[in-house]
Amino acid sequence: MTTITRFAPSPTGRLHVGNIRTALHNWMLAQKDGGRFMLRIDDTDAERSREEYVDAIREDLAWLGLSPDGEERQSERLGLYEQAFEKLRADGRIYPAYETQQELELKRKIQLGRGLPPIYDRGALALSEAERAEKEAAGAAPHWRFKLDHGEMIAWEDGIRGSQKFDPAQLSDPVIRRADGSWLYMLPSCVDDIHMGVTDVLRGEDHVSNTAVQIQMFTALDAAPPRFAHEALLVGREGKLSKRLGSLGCDTFRERGIEPEALVALLARLGTSQPVEPIAARETLVNTFDLSTFGRAPARFDDAELDRINTAIVHQFDFADVADRLPDGMDAGAWHAIRPNLEKVADAGDWWAIVTGPVSQPDFDDGTRTFLAKAATMLEWSDNPWADLTARLKAATDRKGKSLFLPLRQALTGMDHGPDMSELLPLIGEAEARARLQSAAEG
């Protein structure tokens, strides 16, 4: 059986880091098994859904390299939900309820005050046909609930959490349709999973109780439930659920200069027993993806760790990987020289400006200016002008180590640190290098 996974965001905002992690893991699960990764746009909430967010979701997935093998939109599948609704109604598995939000909230408070679980008391099932007719005649439109079967425990083998069991009598009959006829998450999601052939549902642990309910929905719709796995949620570095994680999206990461390969490398293994490493090769991450390595503890997202991985990924890039993002005139040799000093690709422009000049040199003392004047006269171009120059200066002066190398670097680059001068000096060029040395000597 072909593995089919799905990512089902609601287009009510930008994808955030938690969504991205879910999408990535579903993509990896499908990729490892040679299956299909589907995108489902959950846009039944017409009031909050925005087409601009649909476009943003597609753009973000493309930036991450998570190409869906197909796309469905719930707003185009309303007929399927109506069919399922009518089947469940005919089978006595859904029923109308008339309580207002205020009435339901009061019931919950009373139950909690009595030390009881705040689940729906099925009061609507006690209404007679006459009482229902009376409410509707008074203008009360019903919402609709799925009637859970209290006969057996709901059980499944979770791909991450292991054996799971729920007593349906301890769960509320979920509302599947609002009084205005619009759909809530539960039923459309099941219907879509059935019609899209989804075999594996991998999502956050906040959906565990939803899964218990949906397993009964699949059965009521005469379908076998897919395999389920629920991963631990992301938390911030401080160990608490962070609102900030809800605002960290691809647009934020792009603005920070984070490479998609770095974000993928971090999120691929975050929350697993496998080491988080700067692995740019997707096939390596896919081949080592294993649900059995996922832990139950919250997965900690750390910006500093992401930055560290990003820097290491940048250091792996070949010139061809970044050529279209580099300053004009910067070639493979320049990239090779500058790359070890970069944290982000965008920083290459700052280092390239040192090559092209002008540079701001420090004020040198008289002795150092004399030394730099000598360097200007002793500079001879060769296959390795830096090694030759420093060797001649060392022999001709009493300088060595820092006192030899640092003034030369400062005069040539205006910096105390930076790329290997053996690689950088040929990029600066003979005439420009001599001019910089002479300028520094003159003060």
Encoded amino acid at 261, one letter: E
User: Is there a binding annotation on residue 165?
Assistant: no
The pTM of the full predicted model, rounded to 2 decimals, is: 0.90
DSSP H helical ranges for 288-365: 303-314, 319-322, 332-338, 348-356
Encoded amino acid at 395, one letter: A
Distance (Å, whole) CA 244 – CA 235: 10
pLDDT at residue 28 in the model: 98
Distance (Å, whole) CA 2 – CA 42: 24
pLDDT at residue 239 in the model: 72
Question: How buried is residue 43: exposed, middle or buried, by Cβ count under 10 Å (0-12/13-18/19+)?
Answer: buried
| Nearest in space to 96 (alpha carbons), one of 184, 178, 215 | 178
Distance (Å, whole) CA 160 – CA 98: 38
DSSP H helical ranges for 71-207: 78-90, 101-113, 129-137, 186-195
pLDDT at residue 241 in the model: 66
Domains of the chain and any CATH numbers: 4-71+186-233 (3.40.50.620), 80-177 (3.90.800.10), 243-314 (1.10.1160.10), 319-355 (no CATH), 357-442 (1.10.10.350)
Backbone angles phi, psi at 219, to 5 degrees: -65, -40
Three-state SS at 11: coil
Q: Report the 10 Å Cβ neighbour count for 151.
A: 7
Q: What pLDDT, in 10s, does the model give residues 246-281?
A: 788 999 999 999 999 999 999 999 999 999 999 999
Cis bond upstream, residue 117 (ω within 30): no
CB 229 within 8 A of CB 160: yes
> Low-confidence residues of the chain, pLDDT below 70?
240-241
pLDDT at residue 1 in the model: 82
